[in-house]
Structure 1
Amino acid sequence: MSNLEIIKNKNFVMYWLGYLFSALGDAVFILSVSWLIVDMTGSGVIMGTFLLFAGVPRVMFMLIGGIAVDRFSSRKVMLWSDILRSIVLFTFAAASMTGSTSLLLIYALGAVFGTVDAFYWPAVTAIRQRIVHREQYTQSNSILTGTWQAAAIAGPLFGGIMINLLSFPISFMINALSFLISAATLFYIKLLPESQELLRENQTVIGEVREGARFVFGHPLLIVIIVTAVFGNMAMSTILVGLPFLAKDFSAGAQGLSQMQAGLGAGGIAASVLLSAFIVIKKPKPRAKMAVLFVQGCMIFLIGFTQNHWQAAFLVALIGAAGATLGVLEQSLSQTIIPHHMMGRVYSIILIAAQGMTPAAQAVNGLLIDAVGVHDIFFYGGVLGMLSGLIGFFIPAVVNYHVPAEKPVSA
């Protein structure tokens, strides 16, 4: 099969377009509302409160979103998520146009947007198993990871241009249209047949949560993936927290900081292009994930020795490439291991567990910067990443992994 065979899959292309417009919509939304808050109040506290209102529901309701995906159609969950997010944006546009924007409205709409996001992302992950075949999991995930990285860079740029050249109301309306375009693509996707495992009796919500938890804790490899992802994210938090202080230490200013942060996205895009077009991995192995995690830890560790922001930017780009590769491998392994009828709730559990410690790790890194200095936190983060990858590489569940056989399907 050609490395470019996937782009001939019309269903995947339509899915990718919807994913692109949704990812761009998310990125533009955060930029637009953030700038609206700065324009209205200039308050960092209000900004932080808005991000809290938008972020906490996303974590709190992600498991419920995963259950909804398993219980109902992933396509329907995605469709309603896109429609509801567009309604949030049209409401922002109407409020901005009439001058009735208030902090209460901003907080409320931020919470609604975050809650809807908690349903969309488990759905967009679960439906992928019915769009491409198993041998294309890694390639499709690579393309989508690169798309997400590009949207994270391009979205704020587009949002800023729209606000500067047009206005807040028009910017919000265009942003709303991006979600409606995402919704429209869903009508042009023909899904692969479902696994026979989907034909099960109805369960209660608590029963479905228990079934998902039992699957996770009964699968040693999933536990290893989750635990190493937790420590890997904790190691990566040194980058997110430490780069601004590193830029100050190097007297590089805001421009130097932006160059280092851009390296993270550029490295991720480069790795995604390589994995989607040139190095297509049809059978991902968990040992590859552990090896990449070890290498990422090495790069984080080396940042502590850098002498200027260009050296740091180069290492950050390599870290971004490693991070994108880890994301692709983790998603591909999860899609291979987890049955489709449980994908929503099980993957939600993985996301919540893997990301749950990140805020605490960021807080600890902030304290460490004041206590020992910015360079030393990269040593600690690097060692944590290296140990996670090294130990994980030799765990029996990782060493003895075999690709499970394909499940029979029903028309």
Structure 2
Amino acid sequence: MKLRRNSAFVRFWLASTVSDFGTYITTVALSVLVLNSLNGTALDQGLVNAARWAPYLLFGLFAGIWVDRFRRRTVLITGDFGRGVVLSAMCVLAALGFLGVPGVMILMFIFGTLALMSDAAYQSFLPQFVSRPLLTRANARLQQSDTVAQTTGSAIAGGLVALVTAPFALLLGAVTHFVSGAVLLSLTHVATNKPPVRTDGSMRRKISEGLRWVYGHPRLGPLAWSSHAWFIGSAMMGAVLPALVLNDLKLGALGLGLVLSGAGIGSVIGTLLSLRIGERWETGKAIVIARLVQPAALALIALSPLIAVALASEPLDNNAAGLPGNWSLPLWAAFAVAAGGQFLFWLSMGVEGPLEMGYQQAVTPDRLIARMSATKRSMNRGMIVLGAPFGGALAILTSSSIALWVAAGVMLLSALVLLFSKFRSANVESDQLTDEEALTQ
């Protein structure tokens, strides 16, 4: 069956796309809320990011087991509606002047807990109605829509924040989650109503089984360790980049949205090329090369403030409004370098993402997919809890550029772990389980 004729996949794709728009609108609005509306610092941004991902560190190893006790569709719907409620509450509290950075952290912790459960269900839900040979292609379609959302959603969010302020932009993010949940309610394909997975053994045994599968696998193991290091660097970038754009370059909310749109454009192109590159170079080699490109792209972003200073004939006059029409030539040059770095970084991410997701799902038995997903995500997002505050603190003690250079070094280490491991020879075509093997394991 072709994916476009799979009605369950089409509805799931639609729900995922709408939710993706909400994610990128929320990302921009939240950064502006913390750094501008609440007069926060890069460290505050890092703490908010850490609070968002802390549930993955605290509860992540249990998430896959909890998800197995419920229908995956039910978990996804609950997660969407719950996140919509959290963002709505944040909007109301911020508009009334009752929200500070600690309050944002508490609400984002709740938001992250709901996202954790949805993420654990997400990866194990797709194989219920998409056959394993089509999983890489299905993940490519999902990531392509995600990148379109990243491109347009970030730009829309930047303009929306400048027009109606950050709290009300968060309300639009809430609406997208409500719409996504409603679409999933209409998904009635028989495969999506599979009963909860029943597995024998204690909680400890189940967690151990998931850990052994992820870290004991000859190729998934190196990928997991490499990803942990990568997420530390990524978390540092996530905390520092908004501060660099909003506070150092003073490009404003619209400028931040446009910089992040560069990421979306790169990711769109990357996902379009992903399958062809994977077929030509094989999965392992393609992902290793993508990982090597990312630290170079991050170093380019770190250079953007230096470009602005080098081209300025006099001290920069950064306007408070941050409107592109008022930018000086040095600021336009800095914007182009930062957006170009984002483009290159997410071009490589677009190539890597579908290949990595499809490979993990293809080589993992169905009964372990939720635990595999939860194990990796809990550890990866746990690295954000460490990396985000560290990146923010380093930016305050030194500068945003230096913090980004350090993040690039961490990502380079991540790439080298894969380069010198067995993952180089990973190939989804030869390593994947057949549907029959998946049912018997």
> Which whole-Å CA distance do the structure 2 matches of 1:80 and 1:128 have between them?
17
Are the aligned partners of 2:135 and 2:358 in contact in 1 as well (CA < 8 Å)?
yes
Are the aligned partners of 1:84 and 1:116 in contact in 2 as well (CA < 8 Å)?
yes
Change (3 A) 1:261 1:43: closer
Which one is further off, 27-36 or 122-131? Answer: 27-36
**Of 5, 9, 12, the match for 1:8:** 5
> Which whole-Å CA distance do the structure 2 matches of 1:229 and 1:342 have between them?
19
Structure 2 counterpart of 1:268, one-letter code: S
- Partner residue, 1:320: 346
How far residue 244 of structure 1 moved from its aligned partner, in angstroms, is 8.1
- Partner residue, 1:345: 371
How far residue 406 of structure 1 moved from its aligned partner, in angstroms, is 2.3
**SS of residue matched to 2:435:** coil
Structure 1 counterpart of 2:141, one-letter code: I
- Partner residue, 1:127: 125
Change (3 A) 1:9 1:159: same
> Which whole-Å CA distance do the structure 1 matches of 2:350 and 2:271 have between them?
7
> Which whole-Å CA distance do the structure 2 matches of 1:47 and 1:254 have between them?
17
**SS of residue matched to 1:72:** coil
What's the CA shift string for 1:190-210, capped at 9, x where partnerless? Answer: 55759x9x8754443333212
Compute the RMSD of aligned alpha carbons.
4.5
Are the aligned partners of 2:49 and 2:239 in contact in 1 as well (CA < 8 Å)?
no
1:101 maps onto 2:98 in alignment: yes
How far residue 171 of structure 1 moved from its aligned partner, in angstroms, is 5.1
Change (3 A) 1:284 1:78: farther
TM-score when normalising by structure 1: 0.76
1:405 maps onto 2:434 in alignment: yes
- Partner residue, 1:388: 417
**SS of residue matched to 2:184:** helix
Are the aligned partners of 1:238 and 1:365 in contact in 2 as well (CA < 8 Å)?
yes
- Partner residue, 1:115: 113
> Which whole-Å CA distance do the structure 2 matches of 1:157 and 1:302 have between them?
21
What's the CA shift string for 1:321-341, capped at 9, x where partnerless? Answer: 112222221111110112222
> Which whole-Å CA distance do the structure 2 matches of 1:65 and 1:402 have between them?
27
Structure 1 counterpart of 2:5, one-letter code: K
> Which whole-Å CA distance do the structure 2 matches of 1:170 and 1:267 have between them?
28
Structure 2 matches for 1:246-325, cutoff 5 A?
Answer: 254=251, 262-275=261-274, 285-296=283-294, 310=336, 314=340, 316-325=342-351
> Which whole-Å CA distance do the structure 1 matches of 2:197 and 2:45 have between them?
46
**Of 219, 222, 228, the match for 1:221:** 219
Are the aligned partners of 1:142 and 1:272 in contact in 2 as well (CA < 8 Å)?
yes
Structure 2 matches for 1:12-51, cutoff 5 A?
Answer: 12-36=9-33, 41-44=38-41, 49-51=47-49
Are the aligned partners of 1:299 and 1:318 in contact in 2 as well (CA < 8 Å)?
yes
TM-score when normalising by structure 2: 0.72
Are the aligned partners of 2:30 and 2:166 in contact in 1 as well (CA < 8 Å)?
no
Structure 2's unaligned 5+ residue stretches are 308-333
Change (3 A) 1:13 1:279: farther
> Which whole-Å CA distance do the structure 2 matches of 1:20 and 1:148 have between them?
6
> Which whole-Å CA distance do the structure 2 matches of 1:332 and 1:402 have between them?
11
Structure 1 counterpart of 2:7, one-letter code: K
**SS of residue matched to 1:82:** helix
Structure 2 counterpart of 1:407, one-letter code: E
Are the aligned partners of 2:64 and 2:371 in contact in 1 as well (CA < 8 Å)?
yes
Structure 1's unaligned 5+ residue stretches are none
Which one is further off, 398-407 or 24-33? Answer: 398-407
Are the aligned partners of 1:59 and 1:118 in contact in 2 as well (CA < 8 Å)?
no
> Which whole-Å CA distance do the structure 2 matches of 1:165 and 1:319 have between them?
29
Change (3 A) 1:393 1:232: farther
> Which whole-Å CA distance do the structure 1 matches of 2:38 and 2:97 have between them?
15
Change (3 A) 1:174 1:75: same
Are the aligned partners of 1:75 and 1:127 in contact in 2 as well (CA < 8 Å)?
yes
Are the aligned partners of 2:222 and 2:421 in contact in 1 as well (CA < 8 Å)?
yes
Are the aligned partners of 1:293 and 1:388 in contact in 2 as well (CA < 8 Å)?
no
- Partner residue, 1:85: 83
What's the CA shift string for 1:94-137, capped at 9, x where partnerless? Answer: 5567x473446544433221211111112122211123222222
1:61 maps onto 2:90 in alignment: no
Are the aligned partners of 2:155 and 2:258 in contact in 1 as well (CA < 8 Å)?
no
How far residue 358 of structure 1 moved from its aligned partner, in angstroms, is 4.9
Change (3 A) 1:223 1:165: same
Are the aligned partners of 1:216 and 1:346 in contact in 2 as well (CA < 8 Å)?
yes
How far residue 18 of structure 1 moved from its aligned partner, in angstroms, is 0.8
> Which whole-Å CA distance do the structure 2 matches of 1:402 and 1:348 have between them?
22
